[in-house]
Structures are given as C-alpha cells and as structure tokens.
Chains A and B, each alone.
Chain A
Amino acid sequence: MIRAEGIFKQFGDQEVLKGIDFTFESGKTNLIIGRSGAGKTVLLKILVGLFAPTQGRVWYNDLDYTNLDKKGILAIRKEVGMLFQGNALFDSMTIEENIRFPMDMFTPMTAKEKRMRVDEVLERVSLGGVNPKYPSQISGGMQKRVGIARAIVLKPKYLFCDEPNSGLDPKTSITIDELISDITDEENITTIINTHDMNSVMEIGENICLLKEGKLAWRGNKDQVLGTDNEELDAFIFASPFLRKLVEAAKSNGKTTLENL
C-alpha cells in the first residue's frame, strides 16, 4: 500500500499539487487520471521519489518514504519498477542489454540465469526473440512492452507507469493495458498508472484518483464511473461527444454500470 498524505508541490510561484490525500491499494491497478496539467505526472514522480513534495508525506506501508535516509530510499527503490512515458530505453544498448541492466547492476546472478530471466520476461510481454535488436529497430508499442519487461525483471512490489498509452493506437493501447493488469494480478504487485486514456479507466481502473488543478476531484473505481454525479469526472470521462451520446442512450435504458452497458 502506498499512501499520499497532504501532498503539496510548488515550482517557483506555481502550485501544482494542493493537498492530495489518497491511498493506492495493494495488489490493485490504481489509476491517477485527469486532464493535461492537472498534476498527474508530478504526483507520480513524488510517489516514486523523483520529486520531493513541498509539504506532505508518502508512505510505503509503514515507512515514511519522504523522510527516509539514503539507505532506506535505496531499499525501497529496489522494490520499484517504472515504465516511463518515453520508455527511457537506453538507445546504445540492445533490448537484451536494456533488460539485463538492472540485473547486471544489482544482482549476483550468473550470465546464464540473467539470459533465462531476460527470455522469460520477454516471453511474458510477447516479444520473444527480439533480444539482439536495438530500441530504434522496433515499434513504439514494442518499446512500451520492452519498458514493461525491464520494469518487472527484478520482480518489483510496486509498478509505476507514466502514460503507458501515449502515442499508441487504440488496439495497442488495449494490449498494453491488459498486459499491465495481468502482470499486476499474477505477481500481486501494486500498480500505479498515470493516464488520460478512457479505455484504461473503464477497463482496468480498480482504484481511481481524479485530479483537477492539483486537487483530488473524485475517487472510486471503474464500476462507479458511469453512475457518477461528479461533474468533474463526468466532464473528463465523457469529453468525447460520441461517447456521451452512447452513454446517454444506455442510461435512458436504465443501464448505469459497465456490466449492464
């Protein structure tokens, strides 16, 4: 469980986060949603420790991450995997070297064990055989999957994904969402995804936090989205006129949950 407690973040005169309190539940796919500029990425980076909050605390179970010493922070980071918006794959390394990098750096595994683990995670993301290629030689969707493979190679307890669907076509986005959701269930990890993709919200959002202008505007799960009377969520979710018409039609037939729809 990761808990954000009274998180404020200010860059110069600009206050980006204004007192966020939210609990990201263990073993679930937690989503941080909101429009561009709402403060999603800043919150995610505070949770993972890349930014320090101006005020407030981040708890990893009983540990106050914001006040840990260097050793404590490193211990938590070894339990964290992260998929970046731009993948952050090292261009000069092959796919295999990219995935092997955390193992090379932090584990005493033998070369054979590392090779087997690389093959295992690549198979898990349905990319078996791409080991010798470079990131520039594969598509954007494949790069995302390699990013996921690298993030899970050390079997993390927490998986953070910053905009995993950005720049992908709808079908590939769904594949990535399903992959992240399946991995979360299989490995029983706590996943936190920062997204503005509607399909992600409706398909994998087990615990959702909606941000608006740096404040928590709504919390709930995917099943509570359609029946919401929260104006902010409604405006965000049904920004597409086509989707709004569809849902209005469904609601007029008395269907208010995803399953009914």
Chain B
Amino acid sequence: MKLRYLADLGKFVLWQKEVFRKPENWGMYYKELIRQMYDIGIGSLPIVLLIAVFLGAVTVVQFYYQMDGTLIPPYYIGYIVRDMMIIELAPMVTCLVLAGNVGSTMAAEIGGMRQKEHIDAMEIMGLNTSSYLVLPKLIAAAYVVPMLVCVAAIVGILGGYLASVPAGLFTQAEYVQGIRAFFIPYNVVMMLVKSVTFAIILVSVSCFQGYFVKGGSIELGAASTRAVVFGDILILLSDYFIVVLLTT
C-alpha cells in the first residue's frame, strides 16, 4: 500500500513535465482557460457565498457567547472575526469546499474522458492531453480561487455583522471599530499565498486522479472520492506548513 503511494508520487512528479510542456495552440488553451475560469469562479460562487455568510455569523455568535461578561471590549469580536476570516477560515474552508465541488467534478470529467477514449482520440490527433486538460485548469484556479477567497472573507465579515448588529449583540459602531482595529496588511498576503497553494493542490490532485483512472464506473467514483480526500488532506497539511513558514 505504501509502495503504491510512493509509485503514485513518482508518477505525479514525472507527469508534471508533460503538464507544463509548451502548448500546441495558445488560442485553444486560452479558450479552455476562460471556460475553466467561468466554471470554477461563477460555478462555485453561490456555495462559497452561502458558506462564508454562515461562517462569519457563527464565529461572531460563538465569540460573543465566550466573551460575554468578561472585561474584553465588544469591538474585539469584530477584530477577531476579521482576522479569523482573512487568515484562516476564508482560504481554508473555501478551498475544502472547492475540493469537494470543483475537485470531484474535474476528476470525474477527466476520468470520464479517459474511459470514453476521448483522451486517446486527442492523443492520436497529436495533442499533449496532459497539458491541454490540466494546464488551463491550473492557471484558471490559481487566478480565480484567490478571488473567491477574497469574496468569502468580505462576505464572512458581513455575515458576522448581520448576525450581531441587528440582533443587538453590540452596536454597528463597535463592530466597525473592531474591523478597523489592528489591521495588518501582511495577513492578506498570507491569505493569498494560501489560496494559490490550495488551488494548485486541489486541481493537481483531482486531475491526476482522473487522468490515470483505470476500469469502469466504480473506479471512476473511487477516483473522484480519492481526489476529494487527498485534496483535503494535502490542503490541511500545507495550511500548517504555510502558517509555520509565514509566521516565524
């Protein structure tokens, strides 16, 4: 079992040479890039918005519950929500959701193409399928996922506002004061670094699982599941290493 993972890792590393080979036709790759940007960005926007609103809302209510009756000023809750959303929740939760949503779709799409001989047909035409099927997805995700994460962070902070101010937990002035307090721009850099890294991980893992799928529909389902599971694990692992690297 361990050997299989090692063999897969070796196969993945060797495969990168094909993925990053010079495209045969930039125009066709560009068209595919735009399609992927639309699919990843617009396609995932509703679920990202929904999750971000509730993440912000739950964080505020939870912290209000924890800090109520203490000497900590209420505006700190706004500050905590902002930093939690920017540093951790927006990039990580958004990418975990995208690994489930976009990642499984990519694995199934490419795996389906493998099974229906679409990939063979493209190879016979002389196309480098590793590059054509993966590179536009990678570039699209590296561009679009950070945008989605930024939107998630803003919407999360708004969600916190909606859950607290109208409910009378504290005033609008206190929440806004918290959001504006102790702002460190470097945290946004950390968020963007995480977003790009997670985007590359989720696309690479998903495409790899789909591209090398063998067998029938059961194997395709298993590949799709593996794409999500391995994607999630690697996102969590890399999250830890990025935090350690960027905060020490």
- B28, B116, B127: the one within 8 Å of A86 (CB): B116
Q: Find out whether the CB atom of A50 lies under 8 angstroms from the CB atom of B28.
A: no
Q: Which partner residue on chain A sits nearest B25 by CB separation? A: A105
Give CA–CA (A49, B126) in the complex, Å: 11
The interface residues of chain A, by DSSP majority, are classed as mixed
Is B219 in contact with chain A by the CB < 8 A criterion?
no
CA distance A80 to B28 in the complex (A): 21
Number of interface residues of A (CB under 8 A): 21
Chain A residues, CB < 8 A from B118: 88, 90
Q: Which residues of B, 111-125, contact A by the 8 Å Cβ criterion?
A: 116-118, 120-121, 123-125
Question: Quick check: is B68 within 8 A (CB to CB) of the other chain?
Answer: no
* A78 contacts the other chain (CB 8 A): yes
**CB proximity to B under 8 Å, residues A81-98:** 81-82, 84-86, 88, 90-91
Distance in Å from the Cβ of B119 to the closest Cβ of chain A?
Answer: 9
Cβ-closest chain B residue relative to A154: B125
Given contacts A86-B116, A88-B116, A90-B118, whether A106 and B25 have CB atoms under 8 Å apart is yes
> Could you give, for residues 1-44 of chain B, a 1 whenever the CB lies within 8 Å of some chain A CB and a 0 otherwise?
00000000000000000000000110110000000000000000
Q: Which residues on A sit within 8 Å (CB–CB) of B27?
A: 104
- Chain B: residues with Cβ within 8 Å of the partner, total of 14
Please determine whether A74 and B124 come into contact, CB atoms closer than 8 angstroms. no
| CB-based contact B25/A86 at 8 Å | no
A49 to B124, CA, bound (A): 8
**Is A18's CB within 8 Å of the partner chain B?**
no
A73 to chain B, nearest CB (A): 8
> Is A102 located at the chain interface by the 8 A CB criterion?
yes
Contact B123 A106, beta carbon cutoff 8 Å = no
Q: Assess the B126–A78 pair: CB atoms within 8 A.
A: yes
Encoded as 1 (CB less than 8 Å from any B CB) or 0, chain A from 29 to 52 comes to 000000000000000000011100
- Interface residues in A102-118 by Cβ distance below 8 A to B read 102, 104-106
Which residues of A are interface residues toward B (Cβ below 8 A)? 48-50, 74, 77-78, 80-82, 84-86, 88, 90-91, 101-102, 104-106, 160
A82-B124, A88-B116, A105-B24 given; 20 more Cβ-contact pairs under 8 Å: A48-B124, A74-B126, A77-B123, A77-B124, A77-B125, A81-B124, A82-B121, A84-B117, A84-B121, A85-B117, A86-B116, A88-B117, A90-B118, A101-B125, A104-B27, A104-B28, A105-B28, A105-B127, A106-B25, A106-B126
Report which B residues bind A (CB closer than 8 A): 24-25, 27-28, 116-118, 120-121, 123-127
